[in-house]
Amino acid sequence: MNDSDKRLDRVRGLARLPAVARLVDLALDEDLGRGDVTTEAVVGADDTIVRAVIVARKPLVIFGLDVASAVFWRVDAEIEIEAGARDGEAVAAGTAVLALSGPAGAILRAERTALNFLQRLSGVATLSRKFAEAVAHTRARVVDTRKTTPGYRVLEKAAVRAGGCSNHRFDLGSGVLIKDNHIAACGSVTEAVRRARAHAPHPLRIEVEVDTLAQLDEALAAGADIVLLDNMSPEQAAQATIRAHARSVLVEVSGGIDLATAPRYAEAGVDIISAGALTHSAPAVDLALDMLAAAGGAGA
Amino acid sequence: MNDSDKRLDRVRGLARLPAVARLVDLALDEDLGRGDVTTEAVVGADDTIVRAVIVARKPLVIFGLDVASAVFWRVDAEIEIEAGARDGEAVAAGTAVLALSGPAGAILRAERTALNFLQRLSGVATLSRKFAEAVAHTRARVVDTRKTTPGYRVLEKAAVRAGGCSNHRFDLGSGVLIKDNHIAACGSVTEAVRRARAHAPHPLRIEVEVDTLAQLDEALAAGADIVLLDNMSPEQAAQATIRAHARSVLVEVSGGIDLATAPRYAEAGVDIISAGALTHSAPAVDLALDMLAAAGGAGA
Amino acid sequence: MNDSDKRLDRVRGLARLPAVARLVDLALDEDLGRGDVTTEAVVGADDTIVRAVIVARKPLVIFGLDVASAVFWRVDAEIEIEAGARDGEAVAAGTAVLALSGPAGAILRAERTALNFLQRLSGVATLSRKFAEAVAHTRARVVDTRKTTPGYRVLEKAAVRAGGCSNHRFDLGSGVLIKDNHIAACGSVTEAVRRARAHAPHPLRIEVEVDTLAQLDEALAAGADIVLLDNMSPEQAAQATIRAHARSVLVEVSGGIDLATAPRYAEAGVDIISAGALTHSAPAVDLALDMLAAAGGAGA
Amino acid sequence: MNDSDKRLDRVRGLARLPAVARLVDLALDEDLGRGDVTTEAVVGADDTIVRAVIVARKPLVIFGLDVASAVFWRVDAEIEIEAGARDGEAVAAGTAVLALSGPAGAILRAERTALNFLQRLSGVATLSRKFAEAVAHTRARVVDTRKTTPGYRVLEKAAVRAGGCSNHRFDLGSGVLIKDNHIAACGSVTEAVRRARAHAPHPLRIEVEVDTLAQLDEALAAGADIVLLDNMSPEQAAQATIRAHARSVLVEVSGGIDLATAPRYAEAGVDIISAGALTHSAPAVDLALDMLAAAGGAGA
Amino acid sequence: MNDSDKRLDRVRGLARLPAVARLVDLALDEDLGRGDVTTEAVVGADDTIVRAVIVARKPLVIFGLDVASAVFWRVDAEIEIEAGARDGEAVAAGTAVLALSGPAGAILRAERTALNFLQRLSGVATLSRKFAEAVAHTRARVVDTRKTTPGYRVLEKAAVRAGGCSNHRFDLGSGVLIKDNHIAACGSVTEAVRRARAHAPHPLRIEVEVDTLAQLDEALAAGADIVLLDNMSPEQAAQATIRAHARSVLVEVSGGIDLATAPRYAEAGVDIISAGALTHSAPAVDLALDMLAAAGGAGA
Amino acid sequence: MNDSDKRLDRVRGLARLPAVARLVDLALDEDLGRGDVTTEAVVGADDTIVRAVIVARKPLVIFGLDVASAVFWRVDAEIEIEAGARDGEAVAAGTAVLALSGPAGAILRAERTALNFLQRLSGVATLSRKFAEAVAHTRARVVDTRKTTPGYRVLEKAAVRAGGCSNHRFDLGSGVLIKDNHIAACGSVTEAVRRARAHAPHPLRIEVEVDTLAQLDEALAAGADIVLLDNMSPEQAAQATIRAHARSVLVEVSGGIDLATAPRYAEAGVDIISAGALTHSAPAVDLALDMLAAAGGAGA
């Protein structure tokens, strides 16, 4: 193979993961699987090369450029794409985040699916940026939860990171989190922590969810590595943090925390604030595709 | 295994569609694919039969009970499920929408994925109900768009119907919608409508998007079956509707319409109001799984 | 491989759809999944570059060149392909519709699967052309039905269009067709049409199947947009058409219509003739792959 | 539904193969994937239990009952099915080959896909029966080829057997068939047979395609187990058969053989007649679904 | 749904995971996808109900009963299965680990695939048991690596646990393991640990691979939670362990450790011994299926 | 992206088969599906271009270079790969079988999966080479069995051939092998062979398994093409071979044959020796990836 023989396939990053490719397939099946009756009837096979841009209509943090590009290329590999921003970048209203050049019909068929990915994932990144900024004056980090759109976890968690927050465990297999039901099933916090330490994969810390300061003390005594304070007030959290930090134990808080309350927990000294809203309730941001003059045209 | 042990597959409705089954697979792969290290380490294979309920924490319109049930059954077919509400039903805070009985470990493994589907789809149904109610005093109907979560179109569109709104075209193959680019490509509205009528599948009406009253007149003259008024004010829409109805042509309005402005368009006499927000920005609703006493226990 | 002819991904058109890619995978799994024992044993890894053509043995309308090309490229991306005809073109016997150049072993492995797609889809296009020509002197159009080969709908419907006929609804979701069972379930034609108009997606016309002129009158009074006359004679159809056209209602006829009877219905003035035979009974057309002299050979 | 009739999973036979399940998925995706807008709008969720039969409209050999049943059960597992014939059985016009009982909406949604499979596969079985009968007075057997509908090989080959014919090799991996190109690539028939014997899996016989009697003699001398006479007349075939049988070598003939010419080859003494038409050009047979009175109804 | 309406589907445990179901599909495709020509030709559709047992020919630790059962049920849901041992159990030669009753043809078709899973996974469990016993007199645990059979990770890691060993990180996403390349890329161990602590998901410990005692000291100073000693002798490991334990840091050793050397490392005081051989080189164990007398037969 | 940026797909050979692509997807899902937390946290998106080699640590027969390359390209198409050996080649310790150049992060993410394929398949090829050499002084060939890793049959059988052994039937559909159960079901060896000859695809030879010389005589009289001697001693095999060869019948032996006993059977004159160990118990061979200096660096 010689040097010039470069790129097989321009899809990059997360969009190359088999699970993401399956999601893109589902999306194309559902929107394009029966063709585009309007374009076929009115325009025919529209192979005119056109230029278009995807533009942020409002200020936002962009995320999903790789996936959006992959959607365009799945529909037609001839489409040329140039990025005008990088994933995770905060862009002003009017910014062209992707510039496209390719057959008009293909760009129009892929447009909606590409935008649907982009506006959702950028919504997550944009909201994450707000949370990150809300606690930036403290040492706390805001993390996501497993309350993600089913099928989108790897994408939404990357959007969270791109927005400036951090990730909690990816799934049930990448973090030990002992809750009420586990404790009930094995008798005590102490026993639960002992079993976790004996049997769980050693690369994982042991986190214990506690509702009260009494439970906190039991968890600390049992040797938890992290305590998760569920639905405590910032004041209680501050008190709990002092006790936990005395034993070098990390403190996480959760329970309906929003942009208004996050700073109060952060200022209480906790290490980690988990917020389901980052992924389950981020509104879509406003992005649109604008067609430009046909490529090669006079003024182009 | 004894004779009585033969049962058929209980998954119902949309959850039986291959595309939905693929989405459920993606979701289970991502959350359970590596096991549940906490339960395995702390409790072991937890086959204790327990009872649990999924409860609405706030008033909401529930949707997705079939999919949520399918998630539980995919994880363990032994789980028994009884519905406490029907898809599309408005339930009060505290309502148990599903009652479960089955192995504790399986219920816990499936919990998050089932809830993630349910809280998102019920969010769409709940917002759709609000839109439907906002225009209930008129003859207008509110419809969705193609701005759905990629991979979720069949589910989200069903949630929209369950909430009391209607569906626009499902995809690019189930509706003719002539826009600027199509008109530009073939020269005129008249020619575009002629071609659509000649070549598109005859079960489809011809819809034309117009930005001005002049374009409206051209579309009406060309024989459009439906006109889509994009970004017009309610006043302009009222005027356009009079002209269109004089020719028995349906009128749709679109463009950032929200709960506040929808009634004004409806009162202007339009037939259809399309709102992307129904699917792209419906916040998740609050649902949770509560474990009850172990099944078969004394007082249970 | 020469430098000038390297493309990222040359698969085009329908062959890029995920559902078509899955069908191609099924086909390759079944024919090549265990290797080619003859070639491996007798020739070894046969990477000699050869030239070959796919030739029409009889006059036919070609369709499926994109899919056939995709099959070759799935087996070996090094194969170069040049089309000698365009999808939908009527070609004479002896026409080379595709010219191939590539490794002998790969071309032989892909040959049968590519031809199997091509001979079936071209069979549909060829029969469609005959139907289209049979009614060309009238304003009627011949359309397909849902009686397609399962898994092939998007391909066979495209072959029908390429042959010069039109498409009926793609699936159960892209057309409203009220039949006996629907009417029985809701009480009357009038009520069925009313409900369809109230609840079905607005981009869809309302079509009602009728067996008698009495039913026709009921459907017209109820406001149907299209009537489907099932198993009526051309004379009855003519009579029905007069009544329907008086109300600007489209008329479709169906029921075992063949090349001999289609013109009689067309001449009766109906708008649409649907024929299941277009897809369910089109015989395969005769195409074969001929190997030429080895590429680069003296006289080649 | 009575209690005794609930089965975990009733899909049987070929319909359980993963590749067939994938094909059924493709078929359901394409026809039901967007719902049934007519039934939903006009009837709602139609769970009335009805009875229906699938009836042969003409005499035919039925095949595909397992797959058709699987389609119904994939749409709704509550459907009860009783077979009125067995795969491979020749049935008279009017025979109810399947009797169904289940929710009306589900039966209607699955109807077309189930019939599409059944009418195509029974078409193959019916044509195969005719070929088998045409040579029944001889010791020849008629076999299929690899000219099958892509994705349908395992089904169509079973239909061929059900019709009374036999199967040639399943794919490129389950039979050694040395053709011109192989001989050209390795120099001589003798060398090609030697290599096949040395390297191909030992459970496979060595078959050599020959066009002339001179090639036949070379193949026999080389030790072929089977000779394939391509495009020879019945007279030539008779002569070739005498020579081949003298060496206990099987004789196959191929090349556009149809129902008229097959007996002449069979009477010439050949062992095997291969006919691509069995699978690539069998017309669909006529089957339809008739709804009966509602189950449990008075007169039912 | 009433009480008696129990099991939809008897597949349990890991065999229900989508990824495992896909692997089972691949396996059935490859062995059964073209039917069983011998049984079909010689016996026909063999629905005689027979009994059979899967027997351990040698002492072994059994694992994979759920997957093997799933294979049988995928081929025919009528097969009844009773387990004679539990996953993870050490069984004597001659033990019947599964007793089957069902159609002869189906059992024979599924036999090889079921055994292939069982003999491989039990091989892993059996070897893991030997490692576990080799260090049972110490507090060390033996863990697996990512050197698993591609596609089998979740199954092989479960077999390792069933054998009595433990799991290292499941994948690249469920454990932080800083190696040479990472350190080189960011300049120093200290900086690498700092970044991992700042950016990696907080439920994960920070593990650092070290080759020398100097590197060990640097890792300890940097605040590693775990150190991985690569290719050290037991004596070096002992020395390293003393230093690490002084800081409450866990010690793992790796590098070609086998059954002979594992106890020496364990006695040196290390916490964790990782051994790729557990999964990449465990020989298959000897299991076979024996047919018993036909069910219902006189003496049965 | 500029014009020169168009390239075709470099994946070759078996790695292009859909079933192998699915296996590679499963493997990437399981190892990379959640990202690489260490590299992301410590190094970030590491796009530094580096060079690396995959090196044989011990002498071995390499197999799987196409699949390993496919793994790298699936992770990142920018990776350049040059092979330093050919599949089936015996290489010395220290040989660089693949040389890689590409983004550091991508190479590290793909490393383990690529090596896992390579070390397993090369293990099969290496063991096959030993078997082939053990009988090289005779005319016997060693063949594999169906005791392969589920999902890996096409790969492991190719590795067997690459190692110098041959393949037995691929699956249940590509060889007739009559065993005890078949004979019991139809009454006698004679009848079983007669049915196989009448009904099985004619390209397949008829093989009969026999345990005793009496059964051998019956099989020979019945007209078997091949006899499989199960668990006979070399001496018995020699005797059986004389009788079989007198009738030009091939002789296969099976039953726990290893490297020590294979030559004794080969010297007894048998034609084929089947050995399950080739695939079910071949230990992984030792291969590793070594990073070289960064590409473009001074000394590079």
Q: How far is CA A198 from the centre of its chain?
A: 33
Residue B299 predicted with pLDDT over 60: no
Spatial CB neighbours of A184, under 8 Å, sequence gap ≥ 6:
none
Q: What is the mean pLDDT of chain D?
A: 92
- C184-198, D46-60, E115-129: which has the highest mean pLDDT? E115-129
How many angstroms separate the CA atoms of A281 and A126, rounded?
Answer: 12
Residue E39: closest CA among chain F residues belongs to which residue? F182
B18-32 vs A18-32: helix axis angle to the nearest 10? 160
ipTM computed for the complex:
0.93
Could you give the dihedral angle defined by the CA atoms of residues D243, D246, D249 and D254, in that order, rounded to the nearest 10 degrees? 30
Residue E65 predicted with pLDDT over 80: yes
Provide the token pair at E11.
């597949």
Nearest to D234 by CA among D271, D265, D212, D267: D265
Q: Is C166 on the interface with B (CB under 8 A)?
A: yes
Residue C6 predicted with pLDDT over 50: no
Provide the token pair at B35.
């096991």
Provide the token pair at E103.
């159609």
C contacts of F8 (beta carbons < 8 Å): 6-10, 73, 77-78
Provide the token pair at C244.
């329907």
C97-111 as b/e: b if 16+ CB within 10 A: bbbbbbbbbbbbbbb
Residue E4: closest CA among chain D residues belongs to which residue? D3
Tens-place pLDDT, residues B110-146: 999 999 999 999 999 999 999 999 999 999 999 999 9
Query: What does DSSP assign to residue A79?
Result: -
How many angstroms separate the CA atoms of B294 and B51, rounded?
Answer: 6
pLDDT score of C4? 31
- Residue F133's Cβ-count burial label (10 Å; 0-12, 13-18, 19+) is middle
Residue C170: closest CA among chain A residues belongs to which residue? A34
> Are residues E229 and E270 in contact, defined by beta-carbon separation less than 8 angstroms?
yes
Tell me if residue B58 is catalytic: no
Q: Shortest CB distance from B170 goes to which of D7, D8, D34?
A: D34
Residue type, B98: L
Q: Is B30 on the interface with F (CB under 8 A)?
A: yes
Tell me if residue C230 is catalytic: yes
CB contact under 8 A, B120 and A204: no
Residue E298 predicted with pLDDT over 80: no
E contacts of B1 (beta carbons < 8 Å): 10, 80-82
- Closest approach of C149 to chain B, Cα-based (Å): 18
A16-28 as b/e: b if 16+ CB within 10 A: bbbbbbbbbbbbb
How many angstroms separate the CA atoms of D196 and D283, rounded?
Answer: 38
pLDDT score of C176? 97
Could you give the dihedral angle defined by the CA atoms of residues B17, B20, B22 and B25, in that order, rounded to the nearest 10 degrees? -120
Q: Which chains neighbour A (Cβ–Cβ under 8 Å, 3 or more pairs)?
A: B, C, D, E, F
Residue D79: closest CA among chain B residues belongs to which residue? B8
> Are residues D35 and D105 in contact, defined by beta-carbon separation less than 8 angstroms?
no
The two beta strands, B272-274 and B250-254, are parallel
Of residues F66, F111, F209, F252, which has the active-site annotation?
A: F209
- pLDDT per 10-residue tile (average), chain A, 300 residues: 36 89 96 92 84 97 97 93 96 98 92 98 98 98 98 97 97 95 89 95 97 95 97 96 97 96 98 97 95 51
Longest CA–CA span in chain D (Å) reads 79
Longest CA–CA span in chain C (Å) reads 79
Q: Report the pLDDT averaged over residues D212-230.
A: 96
* Alpha carbons within 13 A on the beta-carbon side of C11: 23
Q: Shortest CB distance from C25 goes to which of F10, F18, F154?
A: F18
Of residues E87, E144, E209, E225, which has the active-site annotation?
A: E209
Tens-place pLDDT, residues F91-118: 999 999 999 999 988 999 999 999 999 9
How big is the E-F interface in CB pairs under 8 Å?
A: 208
Q: Shortest CB distance from A192 goes to which of B42, B115, B173?
A: B42
Q: How far apart are the first and last CA of chain F?
A: 28
How many angstroms separate the CA atoms of C262 and C132, rounded?
Answer: 10
- Closest approach of C261 to chain F, Cα-based (Å): 44
Q: Which of residues 262 through 281 in chain E touch F, CB cutoff 8 A? A: 280-281
Residue C63 predicted with pLDDT over 90: yes
CB contact under 8 A, C74 and F19: no
Nearest to D274 by CA among D120, D157, D155: D157
Spatial CB neighbours of D105, under 8 Å, sequence gap ≥ 6:
D36, D39, D43, D45, D46, D47
- Closest approach of D64 to chain B, Cα-based (Å): 21
Q: Is A107 on the interface with C (CB under 8 A)?
A: no
Going through chain B in order, the beta strands assigned E by DSSP cover 49-56, 60-61, 80-83, 90-91, 96-103, 141-143, 176-178, 206-210, 226-230, 250-254, 272-274, 287-294
Q: Shortest CB distance from B77 goes to which of E4, E7, E81?
A: E7
F contacts of A17 (beta carbons < 8 Å): 28-29, 32-33
How many angstroms separate the CA atoms of C206 and C202, rounded?
Answer: 10
Q: Is D188 on the interface with C (CB under 8 A)?
A: no
Q: Is D9 on the interface with E (CB under 8 A)?
A: yes
User: In whole angstroms, how far apart are CA D167 and each of D20, D278, F32, F175?
Assistant: 19, 11, 44, 13
Lowest mean pLDDT among B286-295, C242-251, E269-278: B286-295
Which H or E run contains E23? helix E18-32
Residue A29: closest CA among chain D residues belongs to which residue? D29
- Residue C223's Cβ-count burial label (10 Å; 0-12, 13-18, 19+) is middle
Residue C171 predicted with pLDDT over 60: yes
How many angstroms separate the CA atoms of B115 and B73, rounded?
Answer: 14
Residue E11: closest CA among chain D residues belongs to which residue? D8
Instruction: Using a pLDDT cut of 90, give the percent of chain D over it.
Output: 85
Q: How far is CA B136 from the centre of its chain?
A: 19
Q: Report the pLDDT averaged over residues E70-77.
A: 93
How many angstroms separate the CA atoms of D296 and E169, rounded?
Answer: 59
pLDDT score of B48? 85
Nearest to D232 by CA among D223, D243, D221, D224: D243
Q: Is F29 on the interface with B (CB under 8 A)?
A: yes
Q: Is B29 on the interface with F (CB under 8 A)?
A: yes
Q: Which residue has the higher pLDDT, C7 or B281?
A: B281
pLDDT score of A45? 72
Q: Is D171 on the interface with E (CB under 8 A)?
A: yes
- Closest approach of A195 to chain B, Cα-based (Å): 5
Provide φ and ψ at B125, rounded to 5°: -65, -40
Show which residues of D are catalytic: 112, 147, 179, 209, 230
Q: Report the pLDDT averaged over residues E272-300.
A: 80
The whole-model pTM stands at 0.94
Q: Is E146 on the interface with A (CB under 8 A)?
A: no
B contacts of C160 (beta carbons < 8 Å): none
CB contact under 8 A, C158 and A35: yes
Nearest to A224 by CA among A260, A175, A185, A181: A175
Q: Is F5 on the interface with A (CB under 8 A)?
A: yes
As a whole number of Å, the CA-based R_g of chain D is: 24
Residue D295 predicted with pLDDT over 80: no
D contacts of B16 (beta carbons < 8 Å): 74-76
Of residues B230, B264, B267, B286, which has the active-site annotation?
A: B230
Report helix, strand or coil for E46.
coil
> Are residues C277 and C163 in contact, defined by beta-carbon separation less than 8 angstroms?
no
CB contact under 8 A, D173 and F176: no
Provide the token pair at D193.
């047979």
Neighbours of D246 (CB within 10 A): 9
The two beta strands, A272-274 and A141-143, are parallel
Q: Is B293 on the interface with E (CB under 8 A)?
A: no
Query: What does DSSP assign to residue A54?
Result: E
Q: Is C148 on the interface with D (CB under 8 A)?
A: yes
Q: Which residues pair with A53 in a beta bridge?
A: A99, A290
Tell me if residue E209 is catalytic: yes
How many angstroms separate the CA atoms of A62 and C230, rounded?
Answer: 55
Tens-place pLDDT, residues C85-112: 999 999 999 999 999 999 988 999 999 9
